Amino acid sequence: MISGFEKLNEAKRFVQSKVPTFPDFLIVLGSGLSNLLNEIQVETEISYQDIPHVVQTSVEGHVSRLVVGKLGGVRVACMQGRLHFYEGLKMEEVVFPFRVFGMCGAKVFFLTNAAGALHPDMQPADLVLIKDHINLMGTNPLVGKNLDSLGTRFPDMTHLYDPELRGIVSQTAKKLAMELREGIYVGLHGPSYETPAEIRMYQILGGDVVGMSTVPEAIALHHMGKRVVAVSCVTNLAAGVSPTPLEHSEVSETAKKVQTKFCALVRESIQSMETKL
């Protein structure tokens, strides 16, 4: 049987055949945040379904592709769509595309997501720079045989969310006169939203926002020595913090509203990173 590492290598060879020089920067667009693609001068597009060994899921209305091109003059790769643990996948399947793009040469991963806010003083459309996470998904993408050629068995996670890159994103937000607070992202299995009692527990644990993505890929990328920075778009107040039950449409609506400021933050942060790194 073909090993996990051979699968990664096959996928890497395929992507390299389409994108021989992979950009340094990879941006992951969270749900509803795909407007950034309109700003990209597209060079190449790869549908995930064409990449060997990427698991196919059938979430309605989800387009899953990698777009390579220039954003504000900087060459980037953009992942539109990611795989989620709640789809019933194994963690290694969720992180597979990230590992492939890392192996192709991406160095900086700018992750974005939609998240629920744990504090009543936060509002839908707020942006939160993730300074750390609490993994409550019940497992870890590095479980199983370690891929020694990617990273060490017991990787340190102290600076998972790169302090220098966080500084650049904070500075960029200041320059754009945009409010950007820092917070702890609580990563949950999903797909049901949380109960109010669970949300109270996450508040006590020290969380600021909750969501169902980001944590697996952040761990797997840090394991590979990649630089990670992540921003949550608050799409709703979490269950019980909000007086009304959650609707998924609320998440999509708010994500739409926030696109302009969100796109500016990502574009200008990447420009600044390119000059500073």
Nearer to ligand HPA, 172 or 235 (CB): 235
Nearer to ligand HPA, 133 or 226 (CB): 133
Nearer to ligand HPA, 73 or 206 (CB): 206
62 part of the active site: yes
Question: Minimum distance from CB of 189 to ligand HPA (Å)?
Answer: 10
Site for ligand HPA, residues 109 to 148, rule: CB under 6 A: 114-116
Coil, strand, or helix at residue 133? strand
Coil, strand, or helix at residue 209? strand
Size of the site for ligand HPA (CB under 6 A): 14
189 part of the active site: no
Question: Minimum distance from CB of 246 to ligand HPA (Å)?
Answer: 6
248 part of the active site: yes
212 part of the active site: yes
Nearer to ligand HPA, 66 or 188 (CB): 188
Question: Minimum distance from CB of 243 to ligand HPA (Å)?
Answer: 14
C-alpha–C-alpha distance, residues 256 and 235, integer Å: 9
Site for ligand HPA, residues 176 to 205, rule: CB under 6 A: 188, 193-194
Print burial letters for 234-254: b (CB count within 10 Å at least 16), e (below 16).
Answer: bbbbbbebbeeebeeebbeeb
Coil, strand, or helix at residue 25? strand
> Does residue 236 belong to the site contacting ligand HPA (CB under 6 A)?
yes
C-alpha–C-alpha distance, residues 199 and 140, integer Å: 22
Inter-CA distances, 169 with 38, 80, 151, Å: 21, 21, 27
Which element (helix H / strand E) includes 253?
helix 248-276
Among 40, 103, 106, 210, contact with ligand HPA (rule: CB under 6 A): 210
Print burial letters for 41-53: b (CB count within 10 Å at least 16), e (below 16).
Answer: eeeebbebeebeb
The single residue of 91, 212, 230, 273 carrying the catalytic annotation is 212
**Catalytically active residues, by annotation:** 31, 62, 84, 86-87, 114, 212-213, 236, 248
